[in-house]
Structure formats: C-alpha cells, structure tokens
Amino acid sequence: MSARVGVVVFPGACDERDALLAVDRVAGLEAQYLPHVERDLKGSDAVLLPGGFSYGDYLRAGAIARFAPVMERVIEFAREGGPVLGICNGFQILCEARLLPGALLVNEHLKFTCRQVLVSVEGTDTPFTSGCTTGERLSMPVKHTTGRWFAPPGVLEQVEAAGQVTLRYADGTNPNGSLHDVAGVANEQGNVFGLMPHCEHATDELTGSTDGLRLFGSLATHLSAIPA
C-alpha cells in the first residue's frame, strides 16, 4: 500500500497541483489534498505545504497561514516526529510557525526572481534527503520575492553547528542573498524541512530537470521503512 502525503491547500496557494502531481509520480506515494479549514490530516503519513501566496502574503509571507485551522494538526504532527515538507511559501509558513529556525526576508535586490539554480545537498539526515549523497548537486527552479533566509547571530551558528543546513545554493547561484547560501533547513530532529527551490517543478525532463524526484524518492523510501 502506498504511503499518503497530504498537500495542504491554503487560499492563495498556486503550486498545490504540481505538488500533488509530483508526489503521485513517485512509486509508493499517493497524494491527497488537505483543506486549510479542516483540523484533520486524513491519515496522512507526511504533510507538504506547497508554494504560492497564501492569504496574499499580507503582513508577512506565511504569517497568517500559520494560524489556519489545519496548522494546529500540522504542528502537532511535526512535534510527534511526522515528516513535514515546506516548499517556498510552505518554508515561510514553517518559519513563521517556529517549526524551523530563522525567517525569510525580501530578496536583497528586491526583485522577483525566477530561474534555475544549483543546490548542494549538505545534510542527509532528513526523510527528504536520506536518499541523496552529501555534496550531490540538484538543479531546481526558484521563483520568489521573499526568499532570503536569515537567522540572527547565535541562532545562525547553532543551526550550522547542528548540521541543520540541508541545502545550499552552489556555484554562485544564490538568487536572493540568503545567509551562508542557505537554500533549505531542517529542524533539530530532521523531520521538518523547508526549502525555497521548487522540487515539485523539477520532476519532468520537459521542464529541464527531474532532480526534485530525489527528494520525493527519499521520502518514499523513508515511509516504506516504517511499519504500518
């Protein structure tokens, strides 16, 4: 039986369909939508917060979505050790919910940026990168205005020392001025992971890369190893 991945649908999201399709491409995974108004994860084995502009990005990106009814359960699920993946806006929401360290700020150059980047896998202790090798390069697109990861002094050193930086922009492709070229971070336990690049848009040769499947494939392997 396939493991179920719940894709949360917030008002203003736009990448939930690609996320659903990306998950369904992977053998052993089956995606389902989770409406933002419900306090129910419908038996999901992992939760994905997709990209977009939830609640219009009003106030701060992710600040309002973080209090959506479904997030109560997502936060509980994360604290219980359940795998939670946040892509772009989903990453912003996880930082606002304090499930991940740091915050996402407006890009250093203030512009919306949309381009292919290379990231280097730095941490393989998460359900989403466990199938990758350290130093492996992944090609994925970014498309955001608010993607500059920041952590205050003290927190930054702590995050680095604990090995929570999971992905780093490689070869000078940092598109937003994020500190230490951070493209993705995990929580201390490793079960919550957020990234700015869109792994769900990198699952077909037609759009330039299938490297995003490395992350979804890792999740499938991770979930299949857990006894039902």
CB of 85 to another protein, least distance (A): 22
Distance of CA 42 to the CA centre of its chain: 20
Alpha-carbon distance values, 191 to 47, 80, 97, 152, 199 (Å): 11, 9, 15, 23, 17
| Partners of 195 in the β-ladder | 87, 184
**Residues in binding contact with another protein, number by CB under 8 A:** 19
Q: Which of 15, 16, 45, 96 binds another protein (CB under 8 A)?
A: 96
Is 96 among the catalytic positions? no
Residue 28 or 177 having the CB closest to another protein: 177
The catalytically annotated residue of 36, 144, 198, 201 is 198
**Tokens, residue 224:** 């299949």
180 lies in the binding site for another protein (CB under 8 A) = no
- Residue 149 neighbours by CB distance under 10 Å: 29
Map the footprint of another protein across residues 139-158, applying CB under 8 A: 150-152, 155
The catalytically annotated residue of 122, 200, 201, 222 is 200
Distance between CA atoms of residues 173 and 181, nearest Å: 9
CB of 119 to another protein, least distance (A): 22
Residue 3 or 159 having the CB closest to another protein: 159
Q: Which of 177, 204, 207, 221 binds another protein (CB under 8 A)?
A: 177
Q: Are 207 and 177 in contact (CB under 8 A)?
A: no
Q: Are 210 and 107 in contact (CB under 8 A)?
A: no
Is 72 among the catalytic positions? no
Binding positions for another protein, rule: CB under 8 A: 59-60, 63-64, 67, 96, 102-103, 105-110, 150-152, 155, 177
